[in-house]
């Protein structure tokens, strides 16, 4: 089977364009449409709700986000009509679990992605009995889905090692693709000095947002901007009252993020937990300086090393920014050039890696239990047609 014949169905819980996982699959499916026979993304959207998107509930611990329930009849109808060779799910989540279950019923191989360290996030948001219960349920669900998937893919070397410790012997490492908004428009050359600093991401505890806000007070000579939304929005709004060098943009579209990246000189990703850090790659593609913490998975890609600046152990954001400012202008320009080159190279490599993983997954279909007979497919299609 050639890649041009593959039919791939992505079933994702993350809202399109609202966080790293959501944008990851939105960008990936956009690129794959020109590389495979058919690709469909089933994921919630706030602006153009997907037909398989049902009612929503507030996300526990973050009222600014929603958890959507899948409409199983619509999802079943889509899978029956499409007959995908592979179903891709990130887990755990309600949409992902629905896709995982549906694949098992229809005899379709599953590629599961591991993109978030859920145990660390649980530690940040829940403690005591609630936290222990959440940890147990996540571990059990992940293990169930890992064992039932034909392939497992992840986006950084530390997560590869994490999967191996969990008994997954051969996880696949795949890169991150770039949205057309960050590849197609002409790139403007960076300025010789740092004047404007940008943060883009969820306003949440794992992003170490308080460190960035402290920097705005420590460096009144610089202009700062924050783009995003989340449970710590109030903290940002309080800081706005105290600082006249801070701009709050709220949630932004991908095009607006690209425009803001182009207008700034330095993007900072101060995260305590960050499986990759897509926004860092996006800024690199726009030939901008990027500062990350050692916790960001993007640091583990050797092809990007020359275009990234990583904080040193024990170094504060203030010290790191000062270190960057002391670099000769020619060296900062060289870093930006390497960032631009490395990001574009990773984009192409990521597509090849994904096509390889999808083909490997499709080739394992014969190892699965026999799928539902074709007559049952017809019954399912008729049942799904009654969806209201």
* pLDDT in single tens digits along all 388 residues of the chain: 557 789 999 999 988 877 778 889 999 999 999 899 999 999 998 888 899 998 887 766 566 567 889 999 999 999 999 999 999 999 788 899 999 999 999 999 999 998 766 665 555 556 667 666 666 677 778 788 888 999 999 988 888 988 898 888 899 999 999 998 999 999 999 998 999 999 999 999 899 999 999 999 999 999 999 999 989 999 999 999 999 999 999 999 989 999 999 999 999 999 998 989 999 999 999 999 999 999 999 999 999 999 999 999 999 999 999 999 999 999 999 999 999 999 999 999 999 999 999 999 999 998 887 655 544 545 545 555 554 4
Return the domain boundaries, the chain: 3-150+364-384, 180-344
Given this model, what pLDDT does residue 57 score? 78
- Taking the C-alpha atoms of 340, 342, 347 and 351 in order, what is their torsion angle to the nearest 10 degrees? 160
Given this model, what pLDDT does residue 388 score? 42
First to last CA, the chain: 37
Given this model, what pLDDT does residue 315 score? 97
Residue pointed to by tokens 């309600």? 94
DSSP class per residue in 107-148: T--EEEEE---HHHHHHHH--HHHHHHHHHHHHHHHHHHHHH
Q: Does pTM surpass 0.95?
A: no
Same fold for the pair 3-150+364-384 and 180-344: yes
Topology adopted by domain 3-150+364-384:
Rossmann fold (3.40.50)
| Partners of 153 in the β-ladder | 113, 172
* Nearest partner of 368 among 100, 73, 153, judged by Cα: 100
- Cα angle value 271/276/282 (rounded, 5°): 95
- Measured N-to-C along each axis, helices 118-125 and 128-148 cross at an angle, to the nearest 10 degrees, of 160
Range list of β-strands (E), the chain: 7-11, 38-42, 53-59, 62-70, 86-90, 110-114, 151-154, 172-173, 196-200, 223-227, 246-250, 266-269, 289-292, 309-310
- Other C-beta atoms closer than 10 Å to the C-beta of 267 total 24
Which tokens in the block code for residue 50? 């997907």
What is the assigned CATH class of domain 180-344?
A: alpha beta
Given this model, what pLDDT does residue 370 score? 61
The H or E element containing residue 33 is none
- Other C-beta atoms closer than 10 Å to the C-beta of 251 total 17
What's the CA gap between 241 and 79, in Å, rounded?
Answer: 51
Query: Is it true that the peptide bond before 345 is cis, omega within 30 degrees of 0?
Result: no
Residues ≥6 apart with Cβ < 8 Å to 368 = 107, 108, 109, 150
Given this model, what pLDDT does residue 141 score? 80
Condensed to tens digits (0 to 9), the pLDDT of residues 103-154 reads 999 999 999 998 766 665 555 556 667 666 666 677 778 788 888 999 999 9
């Amino acid at each position: 089977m050639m890649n041009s014949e593959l039919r791939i169905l992505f079933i994702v819980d993350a809202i399109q364009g609202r966080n790293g996982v959501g944008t990851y699959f939105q960008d990936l499916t956009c690129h794959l449409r020109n590389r495979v026979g058919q690709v469909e993304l089933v994921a919630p959207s706030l602006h153009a709700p997907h037909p398989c998107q049902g009612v929503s509930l507030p996300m526990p611990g973050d009222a600014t986000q929603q958890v959507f329930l899948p409409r199983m009849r619509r999802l079943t109808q889509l899978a029956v009509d499409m007959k995908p060779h592979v179903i891709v799910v990130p887990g755990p989540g309600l949409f992902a679990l629905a896709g995982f279950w549906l694949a098992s019923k229809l005899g379709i191989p599953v590629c599961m992605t591991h993109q978030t360290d859920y145990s660390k996030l649980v530690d940040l948001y829940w403690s005591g009995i609630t936290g222990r219960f959440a940890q147990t349920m996540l571990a059990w669900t992940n293990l169930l889905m890992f064992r039932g998937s034909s392939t497992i893919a992840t986006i950084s070397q530390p997560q590869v090692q994490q999967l191996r410790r969990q008994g997954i012997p051969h996880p696949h490492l795949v890169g991150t693709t770039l949205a057309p908004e960050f590849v197609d428009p002409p790139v403007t050359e960076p300025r010789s000095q740092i004047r404007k600093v940008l943060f883009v991401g969820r306003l949440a505890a794992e992003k170490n947002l308080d460190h960035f806000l402290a920097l705005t007070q420590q460096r009144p000579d610089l202009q700062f901007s924050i783009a995003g939304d989340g449970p710590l929005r109030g903290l940002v709004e309080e800081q706005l009252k105290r600082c006249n060098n801070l701009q709050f943009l709220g949630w932004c579209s991908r095009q607006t993020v690209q425009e803001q990246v182009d207008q700034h000189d330095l993007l900072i990703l101060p995260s305590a937990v960050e499986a990759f850090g897509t926004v860092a790659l996006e800024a690199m593609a726009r030939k901008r300086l990027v500062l990350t913490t050692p916790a960001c998975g993007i640091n583990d890609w050797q092809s990007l090393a020359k275009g990234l600046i990583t904080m040193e152990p024990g170094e504060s954001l203030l010290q790191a920014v000062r270190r960057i400012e002391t670099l000769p202008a020619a060296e900062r320009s060289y870093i930006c050039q390497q960032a631009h080159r490395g990001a574009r190279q990773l984009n192409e490599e990521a597509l090849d890696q994904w096509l390889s993983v999808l083909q490997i997954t499709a080739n394992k279909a014969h190892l699965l239990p026999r799928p539902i007979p074709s007559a049952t497919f017809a019954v399912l299609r008729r049942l799904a047609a009654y969806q209201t």
